């Protein structure tokens, strides 16, 4: 859908892992936009997929539901030209949420025939009494500002919840794990990335560089071999790709060390899920 890409674009920096593979978002991440007296707190949620069998999937679905209960307005993101069964299921759930729902039609840059956009908007407008429908491209940053304006107008009056100059409630350490996870998602085949999780174990400033050590946890021995790759090629690629991104993000020299370790079945163990830093709604 492009929720993470949109969130990153809105706050102007990478705070959430985005990737071509579905269901990459695992955490509840807040993005912050402050314009003078107005402060918008954006909550990214994991995609809602009721068919996910693993306990991790169930936890993610609960996180998404709890996020809706917590907010003043909901942004439903769909892809231009499409209306998937999952979109319909979400729209139905939102109908009774008593929250204004803004429909974002993302990826308009992908539409080959631009004249198809207006009939599509007419068609989806009727699915729910949307507060507003905003077509945009999160990737290209096209028409993103009207979305911010619409959301700002929906804010209830109140004090700022976060400092004015912050763009996320998540720590730098967390953002580092997201950068590494994104590299894994980009470089590995379908199955393995979902079985991995990243944990920062070392964070030392030597003055000239920031030394970061992180563990990539996998569930099975075979996955370990894939993440390490032939002659360590995969893990080296992940490491150098992540290091370049981190140097840009942190605006300084970074020395990154990665280890791959085995932790059996963490996706099916609530404590394991918690240890990976994933929010578990009770
Ligand atoms: N062409 C195009 N691609 C986009 C756009 N927005 C996002 N994408 C791509 O769509 C893919 C999914 O984007 P994400 O931001 O990870 O989507 P998400 O909704 O957070 O996905 P989950 O992790 O499943 O929740 C990535 O490959 C993005 O680069 C867009 O406006 N145009």
Contact yes or no for 234/188 (Cβ under 8 A): yes
Lowest mean pLDDT among 40-49, 121-130, 161-170, 179-188: 40-49
Look at ligand 1, atom 11, and give the residue with the nearest C-alpha.
20
Q: Does the annotation place 222 within a ligand binding site? A: no
Check pLDDT > 90 for residue 234: yes
Q: Quick one: how many helices (H) and strands (E) in the chain?
A: 9, 8
Considering only CA atoms, which of 68, 128, 79 is closest in space to residue 105?
A: 79
- Confidence grade of residue 99 (pLDDT, cut at 50, 70, 90): confident
Does the beta carbon of 26 lie inside 6 Å of ligand 1? no
Domains of the chain: 3-153 (3.40.50.300), 172-275 (3.30.300.20)
Tell how far the Cα of 77 is from the centroid of ligand 1, in angstroms. Answer: 10
Q: Is the shortest distance between the CB of 109 and ligand 1 below 6 Å?
A: yes
Phi/psi at 146 (nearest 5 deg)? Answer: -60, -30
ipTM of the shown complex: 0.93
pLDDT in tens, 132-161: 999 999 999 999 999 999 999 999 988 898
Check residue 57 and give its pLDDT. Answer: 58
The pLDDT of residue 8: 87
| Centre of ligand 1 from the C-alpha of residue 227, in Å | 23
Nearest to 107 by CA among 146, 141, 133: 141
Question: What's the DSSP call for residue 177?
Answer: H
Annotated binding-site residue? 106: yes
Residue nearest to atom 8 of ligand 1 (CA): 2
Question: Minimum mean pLDDT among 122-136, 154-168, 232-246: which range?
Answer: 154-168
According to the annotation, is 109 in a ligand binding site?
yes
pLDDT tens for 51-93 read: 555 565 565 566 666 667 778 898 999 999 999 988 888 888 8
* Mean per-residue pLDDT, 164-186: 88
């Amino acid at each position: 859908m492009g929720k993470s890409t949109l969130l990153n674009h809105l706050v102007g920096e990478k705070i959430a892992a985005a990737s071509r593979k579905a269901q990459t978002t695992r955490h509840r991440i807040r993005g912050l936009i402050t314009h003078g007296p107005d402060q918008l707190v954006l909550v990214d949620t994991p995609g809602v997929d009721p068919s996910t069998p693993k306990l991790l999937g169930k936890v993610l679905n609960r996180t998404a539901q709890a996020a809706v209960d917590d907010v003043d307005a909901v942004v439903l993101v769909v892809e231009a030209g499409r209306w998937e069964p999952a979109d319909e299921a979400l729209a139905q759930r939102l109908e009774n949420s008593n929250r204004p729902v803004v429909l974002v039609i993302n990826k308009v840059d992908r539409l080959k025939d631009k004249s198809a956009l207006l009939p599509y908007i007419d068609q989806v407008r009727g699915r729910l009494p949307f507060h507003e429908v905003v077509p945009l491209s999160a990737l290209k940053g096209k028409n993103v500002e009207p979305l911010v304006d619409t959301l700002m107008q929906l804010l209830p009056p109140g004090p700022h919840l976060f400092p004015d100059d912050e763009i996320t409630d998540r720590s730098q350490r967390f953002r580092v794990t997201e950068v590494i996870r994104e590299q894994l998602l980009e470089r590995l085949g379908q199955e393995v990335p979902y079985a991995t999780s990243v944990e920062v174990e070392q964070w030392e400033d030597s003055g000239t560089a920031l030394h970061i050590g992180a563990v990539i946890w996998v569930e099975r021995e075979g996955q370990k071999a894939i993440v390490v790759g032939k002659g360590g090629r995969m893990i080296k690629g992940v490491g150098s790709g992540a290091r370049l991104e981190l140097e840009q993000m942190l605006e300084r020299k970074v020395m990154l060390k990665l280890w791959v370790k085995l932790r059996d079945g963490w996706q099916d163990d609530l404590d394991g899920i918690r240890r990976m830093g994933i929010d578990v709604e009770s």
